[in-house]
Structures are given as structure tokens and as C-alpha cells.
Amino acid sequence: MQNYSIITVGSPVFFECMQEQKTEYNLQNLKSFKEVKEILKTPLIDIYVFLFFVDDLEKFDLKELKKIKYPKIFFSKKSENFKTIKKDNVLSIFLELPVNYQDLEKIIKLAILKFKFLFQSKVEIGKYNLDKNERTISYGKKSAKLTERELDIILYLSGKKEGATKQEIMKDIWSHREEIDSHTYETHLYRLRQKLQSKLSDKKFITVEDGKYFISS
């Protein structure tokens, strides 16, 4: 069984707070980016999620940072501190402090889900084939190109067998730090459903029942 480990880099106080939450993940705290490079020299068995506290660390080695092919979540009290780090960093999430732990836990789970799909490029969802790397969904000779958000919505709902409310989707996918309102989410969902209807002739891929959204295929 695959284990999941959270490595906080910097901010020992935050690490202690996570310990108090009795999280399901293995936890480890590193004091510097240099220690991160050391741990990456050995084979990693678990799936790792790195939590970098930008304000507590010395200057990042951006070249080395890009070599980390695990999910990375960056924190800072000021969003402008992310500017140099954001470039070319895949699987990365950027959050401005403070962050609610319950929200963070959901963000971590979504990051792990996206990471797992990267190493399983072609995934079956019902009768459809979802290609995470190409961001396409297909059935037979029909296919549709997806935006990153559309892909996130499909991946998220595919793991929610009991469905998810609009509020849950908005909160978990966009996170509480992004400027997102009901209209923005509904626009994304509307365009996705229209695309699937147009390209795949499927009106019922995503359905709504009792206020919850489901993937019905």
C-alpha cells in the first residue's frame, strides 16, 4: 500500500500544529532547502508532498526546485514572494497565509490525486479515456481537449462517488485563497458540459441530483 508523507520545509511551528491534528500522513520537518536536496538523493518510497514556507527560507535554488517531481505547496504572507518561484513549476500550489487546516487538508488530497494521475497518464472513467498529460477525454474516435480547470473538475468528481456540492467543488478545487464566485464556477461547468455535448455527444456526463454533482458515465 502506498504511503503519503508530508514534508514541511521551514516553519517548525506549522509542523507542530500538523502533529496536533493527528493527520493520516507521515510527517517530517526540514529546516532548509539544502536538507531537501539531501533527502532527494535517496530513493523515495512514499508519495511526498512538500510544504515550503517561503518567508522562513534562504534563497531557493530554482534549478533544483524544478527537479522535485512531487507535489509542492508554497506558503507566504505576501503573494508577490511567489513571482520567481511560479515559473515552470509543475504540480505546484501557491497559498497566502494564514491558511485554515481543514482547507489545507483538502488541497493536499487534491494535489496527491493529480500527482497519481500524472503517473497513470491514461485513466478510464466509465466508458471514457482521460489522458492527464495531453488533457484530453475521448471515447472511440471522438475526443475533447480540456482546460486545466476542466480536468481538475473531472478528476475531483471521479473520486467523489457520493457526489459533491457546488460549494465543496469551489472550495476544494479553487481553494479559499482564490477569487472565485458562484458565477465563475458555473461558467466553467457550463463550458465543460457544452464541450462534452458538442465533441462527445454526451449530455449527461456530469449530472446534478439533490444539489450534488456526479459523473454519471
Instruction: Over range 182-202, report the average pLDDT.
Output: 85
Residue-wise pLDDT tens digits, 23-70: 778 888 998 888 888 877 765 666 788 999 988 777 677 777 877 878
In whole numbers, what is the pLDDT of the chain averaged over residues? 81
Query: Which pLDDT score, from 0 to 100, does residue 136 have?
Result: 93
Decide which of 110 and 62 is more confident: 110
Query: Which pLDDT score, from 0 to 100, does residue 176 have?
Result: 44
Instruction: Over range 83-112, report the average pLDDT.
Output: 82
Does the pTM exceed 0.85? Answer: no
Could you tell me the domains of the chain?
A: 4-116 (3.40.50.2300), 121-215 (1.10.10.10)
Which of these, 90, 45, 46, lies nearest to 71 by C-alpha position?
90
Residue-wise pLDDT tens digits, 117-137: 666 677 788 889 888 878 899
Instruction: Determine the Cα–Cα distance for residues 5 and 185; give it in Å rounded to an integer.
Output: 31
Burial group, residue 56, by CB count within 10 angstroms (0-12, 13-18, 19+)? middle
Q: With helix as H, strand as E and coil as C, how does the chain read?
A: CCCEEEEEECCHHHHHHHHHCCCCCEEEEECCHHHHHHHCCCCCCCEEEEEEEHHHCCCCCHHHHHCCCCCEEEEECCHHHHHHHHCCCCCEEEEECCCCHHHHHHHHHHHHHHHHHHCCCEEEECCEEEECCCCEEEECCEEEECCHHHHHHHHHHHCCCCCEEHHHHHHHHHCCCCCCCHHHHHHHHHHHHHHHHHHHCCCCCEEEECCEEEECC
Query: Which pLDDT score, from 0 to 100, does residue 40 have?
Result: 75
Residue-wise pLDDT tens digits, 148-166: 888 888 888 887 888 888 8
Confidence of residue 179 (pLDDT cuts 50, 70, 90): low
